[in-house]
Structure 1
Amino acid sequence: MTPADLSRTVLHAVRRAVDEDALRAPVPARVRVERTRPGGSGDYACAVALQLARPAALPALEVARILRDRVAAEPGIGRVDITGPGFLSFTLDAGTDADTRRALVHEVLERGPRYGYGDALRAEVLQLRYPREVRAAVSAHAVRALLRSQGARVRTSCDEAPDPDWARLGVTVDAHGVPPAPLTAVRPVPAGAEAGELLERLGPDAVRWGLLRPAGHDRAPLGDDLLVQSADNALFLVRYAHSRARALTRGAALLGFGGAYEANTDARHPAAHALSGLLADHPGVLLAAARHRAPDRLARHLEAVAHAFFDFHDSHPPLPAGDEKPSAAHRSRLALAEAAGTVLAGGLSLLGVSAPEHL
């Protein structure tokens, strides 16, 4: 059961409660479900009871109790608890969760770097306009890629003739000069340096990551730490996680096996659950980043995937050690690791950052 599936399940429970007159409140258009934070209970949590308490004229705890029994009866739900002032906490059924993870890994590997692409914005036709400034140009280029990944038709327009050095950053400009309305402005805080100077010092990948990782309203730190090969450098961490996933595939081939999600005795382990949850979240992250014109959301998501990948890799090695024979668990772990590498490669591509197989 993916977060989207669980959200629909909770929304269905709300509709049932309203139809049965157990709850008198307007049914929301959608219900937000989030993965439980470290230290919390269950796999996912939802604040819908707090949202409905006032219109229902009931305490949030009472609304939560009304919804708990209805959600708990749905397929795929193992347990529903009420925590705090009225949060619903969901623990998925282990068998259903394993089936969901199997389907997720299969989908990611089947779709490859285009996993998460969709057509939710197919009705949008946009013209992105930005000033002749390197961060604005790179941001508009990434926003265009995100919007197109969700089906929108997009063109970009620079207010003036583009800087020739932008081409070295992979930036293409559809037009320059002030086009007719309607326009969508892309105006992040300027980088404070020209493209040529940044490229000379950092190279294209570090420049793009440094410009896109901070939110547009924040200043972009463009120091030499973007080139440091350590876990403190998010760019290195993300690219190293991708290259490590590719190395696992090569190592497995030398041992005579490949990734296949056949069984997973680690299914309920927090590291496996956290990684698969982030992979399931990827389509929603792409859509949100496109809608909000916020490539930084995708960059932060890739960081989270990289951290979760290494947590999983270190606690559940996909390759057998010593004289150990490859097992179904190793094949499943390898498939999940390969799916993580695929998501990292696809996300970096949308940001215009390369994903080398060797670092």
Structure 2
Amino acid sequence: MNRSLIGSLYTISTYYETLQWQWWISCILHVIQAGYYPVLALVGVPSNLLTIVILSRNNWGLSKSVTCYLLAMAVADLLVIVFDLILRHIPIVYKEHFRFLYYVPTCNIHAILLYASTDCSVWFTVTFTFDRFVAISSQTLKSKYCTRKTAAVVLGTVSLLSFSKNITQYFMLTGRYILVNAPWFCGVSFAVQYSLVWMTVDILNYVLTPCAPFVLILLLNVMTVRQILMTSKVRKRLRAHKNVENAEDSELDNRRKSIILLLLISVNFILLWAVLITFSMWRRVCFLLNLIVTHEYFIQDLGFMLQLLSCCTNTYIYAVTQTKFREALRKLLSHLFFPFIKHIKSSE
């Protein structure tokens, strides 16, 4: 009996120590988020707006289909920043200044727009990856599929499906904001929380976004890299037979730039989404199976921070990998700030 009692006391003590350090980490993350989220919004909104303007001009050397996908990704990322970062996470961190939201019964509508824009952001990345895979794998299919018209149809279809899929949020959630990082940021009735039907719908939502895209992007990138390596070997052999080894191969150079852009966008998505995907799926499985585990919710907070960061990084990826994008960005910034600089010099 004594050993059993001592063991039970030790287990309880360990459990409360675990909760205590988890609470401390959550407090530290909350302090970091108070500065991180506003800065991210101040960086993310202008970055995506600049990207949208540059891509809309379509003068930086990429094909029309690629430009369509990148433009759509920038618009979707901007919407995620607005609906998720600015209208959800910042009010949660600064809830004492946003208590008026408790009296605004629009949370379920907000949830539809937030999750639909997130789905679009994720699935636009998948469609862009597939477009590049087709372009590199088959020249015949490339001429038919990798066009501006096809890109518009694909992007429009994904947008419609994303919105339709998230209509269920209107019926699952209530219009009441709760301003906490719970599984839902809106009020949820017990009937929904413990309903097998609604839990299944919620699990399927997470499988469709972002788990399935996560796997698809990995597979498409592996196949794309494999195809590029095979094609490069064949072209090098043909060039060797023609004695043009030292001459520049513009097609291989363009493919190299394309694959660098694709891989950076894909790796950026995978790395910044990995924490949130893993934690969210594990938590929902535990909830569905009634497993009693300690949920390290600071991992969820870290996952949200990284996921939102992924919506602000593509502009910098383009600037690093694309010379013409850098030139267009420099010209645009010069045009925007030239009157201000001129005014300062004249005032001196």
TM range (shorter): under 0.3
Relative to the length of structure 2, the TM-score reads: 0.27
Greater RCO structure (CA 8 Å; 6+ sep): 2
Compare the two structures and name the one with the higher strand fraction: 1
Compare the two structures and name the one with the higher helix fraction: 2
